[in-house]
Amino acid sequence: DIQMTQSPSSLSASVGDRVTITCRASQSISRYLNWYQQKPGKAPKVLIYVASSLQSGVPSRFSGSGSGTNFTLTISSLQPEDFATYYCQQGFRTPRTFGQGTRVDSK
Amino acid sequence: EVQLLESGGGLVQPGGSLRLTCAASGFTFSSHWMSWVRQTPGKGLEWVANIQQDGSEKNYVDSVKGRFTISRDNAKKSMYLQMNSLRVEDTAVYYCARDDYGGNGHFDYWGQGTLVAVSS
């Protein structure tokens, strides 16, 4: 199985900050890397798919980059509604696997 | 509007069985792979199983192989997860998720989840 490792596990930031979360795959997954946002009590919501494609309706302050084994999710200017947990997920091979999550909270 | 609605969760004893249902609406159900994904506080998000559009191909995570069975009824726009020989470690919120049409391997719509609690 492909292991997905996110860092950091949590971070504290302020509104307006630039936030970067990284995700590393245990083997190359080309660009089949997706990012989700999850708020308490809600289902995950896809933000970015195939590494850098913005899901329809997602604000442009979210962006993704990377290929192979190393990927990044960037929030260019953190907004109050962005405090949440973020997960990466590989879509390269079954079983699909997720990172352990990165919790973004208010500093 | 795409909607996925799970049902069938509840409290069950170890060794017991449950059948989850995902009712879909707002899209052509028969055109999409569908998945079950579960979430526990300790292990985060875990993909459980998926099923091809016509039900001919099914895949499972190793931890549920031989115990869980995924199926679908395209006429009823529904997907199912039959869970047998349940273990305490199967306790989780179970989500129904739609695989994206383009085959990129992401889940573009999710249900609200149904809680399965396995405990004596």
User: pLDDT of chain A along its 107 residues, tens only?
Assistant: 999 999 999 999 999 999 999 999 999 999 999 999 999 999 999 999 999 999 999 999 999 999 999 999 999 999 999 999 999 999 999 999 999 999 999 99
Which of B107, B109, B112, B115 should one mutate to test binding to chain A, selecting the residue with the greatest count of A CBs within 10 A? B107
Residue A34, classified by CB atoms within 10 Å of its CB into exposed (0-12), middle (13-18) or buried (19+), is: buried
What is the structure's pLDDT at B41?
Answer: 75
What is the structure's pLDDT at B101?
Answer: 74
B110 touches chain A (CB under 8 A): yes
Least confident of A5-19, A78-92, B70-84, B92-106: B92-106
Residue A97's Cβ-side half-sphere holds a number of Cα atoms within 13 Å equal to 20
Cβ–Cβ of A92/B105 closer than 8 Å? yes
Contact in structure between A52 and A64 (CB atoms under 8 Å)? yes
Contact in structure between A11 and A20 (CB atoms under 8 Å)? no
What is the structure's pLDDT at B104?
Answer: 80
For residue B25, give both structure tokens: 């609406």
Cβ–Cβ of A46/B35 closer than 8 Å? no
What is the structure's pLDDT at B105?
Answer: 87
A68 touches chain B (CB under 8 A): no
Does the pLDDT at position B112 exceed 80?
A: yes
**Whole-number average pLDDT of chain B:** 95
Does the pLDDT at position B102 exceed 90?
A: no
CA–CA gap between residue A6 and residue A22 (Å, rounded): 6
Does the pLDDT at position B114 exceed 80?
A: yes
Does the pLDDT at position B66 exceed 80?
A: yes
Q: Which residues on B lie below 8 Å from A1 (Cβ)?
A: 62
- A35, amino acid identity: W
Q: Which residues on A lie below 8 Å from B44 (Cβ)?
A: 87, 98-101
What is the structure's pLDDT at B86?
Answer: 98
CA–CA gap between residue B49 and residue B36 (Å, rounded): 5
What is the structure's pLDDT at B98?
Answer: 97
What is the structure's pLDDT at A96?
Answer: 95
Q: Which residues on A lie below 8 Å from B104 (Cβ)?
A: 32, 34, 49-50, 91
The more confident residue out of B103 and B106 is B106
Q: Give the chain B residue nearest A57 (alpha carbons).
A: B108
Cβ–Cβ of A89/B45 closer than 8 Å? yes
